[in-house]
Amino acid sequence: MEKTKVAIIGSGNIGTDLMIKILRTSEVLEISVFVGIDPESDGLARATRMGVKTTHAGIKGLIAMPEWKDIKIVFDATSAKAHHYNNEIVQQYPDKRIIDLTPAAIGPYLVPPVNFADNIDLKNVNMVTCGGQATIPMVAAVAKVAKVHYGEIVASISSKSAGPGTRANIDEFTETTSQAIEKVGGAERGKAIIILNPAEPPMVMRDTVFTLSEQGDREAIRKSIHEMVKEVQKYVPGYSLHQEVQFDDIPEDKAVFIEGLGMRHGLKTTVLLQVIGAGHYLPEYAGNLDIMTSAALATGEKLCKIAAAKI
């Protein structure tokens, strides 16, 4: 199978990690150009050392290169604001697709094990956020068994793994993840919280997922969660349950208020996760970045395999 040529825009931590993942692990993708805007960035220097063509002139520099005509997928690992500009340009080329690793959410939210099949023909898909990729599969797993009224996630990441892009997009993180909990996870209402943990030595990514659902078969919910964990582990081996799934009854006489829904009672499910990074470019504690790049890579590879099967 001939490899599909791709470009990565954004020479920061996420873009560089994705580049190395493609170079080391992908049997279907070939990194053609690595794009940045800072000629002194470590990412561009590393790409050059690894034999990858680069430009520090951003998206305009990319489309001016002869390699542009053969590129089929553009991974955008810049920022929410920059993605709006980059997307406008890429959309002018009918043969290009863009996979968005920012919280811009121009295209629909995509979490590979949950709703990949719904988005295979779209030109722009959004990878939500690191917290979204880690936790939305768990909300969706509960929703397969019982109607979920409310889903809340708390993503705790090492402060050292939160670069300028992450810090600049915290508002977009909470808004995008909250919306995706509803649109992809299946909850009536969603809420997302991110914590930058300053602990030394740095802690690995930890995520807590709370759902309040209608009463359902607890063993069926537990089984659904474990099956979903295995699906995520296919492309993020360091993804795991930190503890066994926990259940609590919320009786009708102790119903809780959910904004926009009113009083609700039912079954509270708690899922505790951890994500250990693969260590391709970043330390293992940077699981928040690893799950984003792994999800984007899995999406790109699936899209290419489907396209090849249609030929």
Residue numbers annotated as active site: 130
| Cβ-based burial of 196 (10 A; exposed 0-12, middle 13-18, buried ≥19) | middle
d(CA 231, CA 212): 23
CB 284 within 8 A of CB 277: yes
CA–CA–CA angle 244, 166, 92 (5° rounding):
115
Q: Is the dihedral of CA 287, 9, 166, 88 positive or negative?
A: negative
State both tokens at 37: 């805007």
| Cβ-based burial of 219 (10 A; exposed 0-12, middle 13-18, buried ≥19) | exposed
Q: Which amino acid is at 121?
A: D
